[in-house]
Amino acid sequence: MVVTASYKDKDGKVVENKQERHYHPQATNCRDTKMKYGAQWKVANIRDTAIQPHQPKKETIEFELPDGVRSADVTVDLFYEAVNPDNKYPIHSIKKTVSLDK
Amino acid sequence: MRIILLLLITAFVIMPLSTVGAEKAKTIDELAKMYDSSQCKSCHAEIYAQWEKSHHARPLMGVKGGLMLTPLALKKGEKGATAFSEDDPKKMKISNFPCFKCHLPQAVTSAEDSVAAELAEALLAKDSAKVGKLQITCMVCHNEKALIHKRELGAPEKGVIYGNKDVASHAGGKIKKSAIMKDSVFCGQCHGLGPNLEFDQAFQCANLYGSYLHNYVSGGGTKSCQDCHMQKGDHLIAPNFNDDKQTSELLAKALTLDVETLGYEWLRKAATYVPKVVVNTKIVSSAGHRIPDG
C-alpha cells in the first residue's frame, strides 16, 4: 500500500510525500537474519504482516505540511505484487483532498 | 450399430484404466501419458476449459510462464544455484526436486530419477513446451490425491476416478466415492502448513493451509476452500495470476479499503503549530486465509 500526500509549496512546485506499508509473510533461511524470496531459500516465517481473516488491518499515517500550506491531495493505492515487484495488480486507488481551513 | 456403440463405450472405459500403470515412468512423456486426462475433455468440456486456464494446469511455470524450478537445475556453485542443485544436471534425481511434493506429486509416486534429469535439462534449455507437459491433471486430483486414509481405505486404485459419490456406470470410467473431495484438507495436502521439515534440507513454500486452520477456522470460519473457490464446480479455481484484469477484480472484491482523513494544526508546544494530515486506512478481507501467501 502506498499513501501519497501531495501539495503545492510556496513557489507553486508540487511536492510528493510517500509512505508505504508492506503486507506479506517474511521468511529467512534460519541461518542468518536476511529475509529470503523463493521456496528454495526460505525455511520459516519470522514475521507475518499479511492481511488475515477476521483481523482488519488498520493504519494511521501522518504527514506534516510546511508552514503556509493549507491543503493536500491524498492518494491511497492498494495493489498486489506477484513473484516480483514489477508484476503489479491494482486493487484500489482512493483520492481525497484534505484542507486545513474550516 | 449396436456393436459399434458397445465398442465405443468399452474404449472409454478402458482408456483411463490403462493410464496409470504399475511401471514407473522413465521420461517426461511417459509420466505425462500416465496421468493424461485429455479423454475427460470430450464430456466435461467446460470443466476442462476452466482447468486448462488454471494454475493447476501449469504447476511448474505458474506466473507469466516463469520456469521457477530453474535455480534447482543450475550447476552447484553456479550463481543462483541451490542446496538441491548437483554439479551436473544429469545427476538430478526426484529427491533433488522436493518441490514435487506439491507441484507434481505424481513424480514422487510414479517417476524414475531419469525424469528429474530430463526436466533439469529442459529447464536449462528453457524448453517451456516440454516443462509444460507436466501438470496437475484431472487424475492427479481425482485419483492420486483423493484418499488420505490409506491405512483404512487403501491406496487409490489404478484408473479409478474418485468423486463425491459412487457412479458405477460413469462413461469415463468407474467413479468411487472419496471422503475428502469437499473438505479443505483435500487442498491442504498441497497448500502448505509451514516449513517442510521432513526433508534433509528444510524449506518453505506455500503455507496457506496453516493460515486457514490457525487464523480462519480458529476465528470461527466455517467455509471450505471449495465453498469459496469452486462454486458450481468451477475448476479455474481462481485467482489466475496470468489474467491481470480478473485478478484485480477478485482482489478488489476480497479486500475492502476504507480511507478517512483529517487536516488540523497540532500544537507541539506553546505557539508552535504543526500543520498535519492524518490518513486512517482500514483493510478488511473476506478470504479464508492470509493474503498474500508465500
Q: What is the pTM of this model?
A: 0.94
Computed from CA positions of residues A34, A37, A38, A44, in that sequence, does the dihedral angle turn out positive or negative? Answer: positive
Res B176: pLDDT = 97
Print the domain residue range for B133: 16-249
pLDDT in tens, A54-97: 999 999 999 999 988 999 999 999 999 998 889 999 999 999 99
Stretch (H or E) spanning A47 = strand A44-48
Strand partners, A61: B279
Nearest residue in A to B279, CA atom: A61
Instruction: Tell me whether residue B144 is in a domain.
Output: yes
Q: Residue A39 and residue B231: Cα distance in Å, rounded?
A: 30
Beta-carbon separation of B82 and A5 below 8 A: no
Instruction: Tell me whether residue B276 is in a domain.
Output: no
Instruction: Tell me whether residue B256 is in a domain.
Output: no
End-to-end CA distance of chain A: 30
Q: What is the dihedral of CA B161, B11, B43, B30, to 10 degrees?
A: 60
- The rounded Cα B293 to chain-centroid distance in angstroms is 13
Beta-carbon separation of B203 and A41 below 8 A: yes
B267 touches chain A (CB under 8 A): no
pLDDT in tens, A5-39: 999 988 889 999 999 999 999 999 999 999 999 99
Instruction: Tell me whether residue B200 is in a domain.
Output: yes
The percent of residues above 70 in pLDDT, for chain B, comes to: 93
pLDDT band at residue B22 using 50, 70 and 90 as cut-offs:
low
Cβ-nearest to A69 among B64, B275, B288? B275
Instruction: Tell me whether residue B281 is in a domain.
Output: no
Cβ-nearest to B263 among A27, A53, A100? A100
Q: Residue B133 and residue B174: Cα distance in Å, rounded?
A: 26
Residue type at B97 in one-letter notation: F
Instruction: Tell me whether residue B272 is in a domain.
Output: no
Instruction: Tell me whether residue B87 is in a domain.
Output: yes
Print the domain residue range for A20: 2-99
Instruction: Tell me whether residue B266 is in a domain.
Output: no
pLDDT in tens, B113-151: 999 999 999 999 999 999 999 999 999 999 999 999 999
Cβ-nearest to B255 among A24, A39, A78? A78
| Of B107, B49, B111, B73, the residue nearest B235 (C-alpha) | B49
Beta-carbon separation of B194 and A44 below 8 A: yes
Tell which of A1, A43, A89 to mutate to test the B interface (max B CBs under 10 Å): A89
The percent of residues above 90 in pLDDT, for chain B, comes to: 90
Beta-carbon separation of A98 and B281 below 8 A: no
Tell which of A40, A77, A97 to mutate to test the B interface (max B CBs under 10 Å): A40
Asked whether A62 and B223 are in contact (CB, 8 A), the reply is: no
Structural domain count, chain B: 1
> Closest approach of chain B CAs to the CA of A11, in angstroms?
18
Structural domain count, chain A: 1
Asked whether B139 and B16 are in contact (CB, 8 A), the reply is: yes
Res A11: pLDDT = 87
Place of cell 483411463: B16
Beta-carbon separation of B283 and A60 below 8 A: no
Asked whether B205 and B192 are in contact (CB, 8 A), the reply is: yes
B262 touches chain A (CB under 8 A): yes
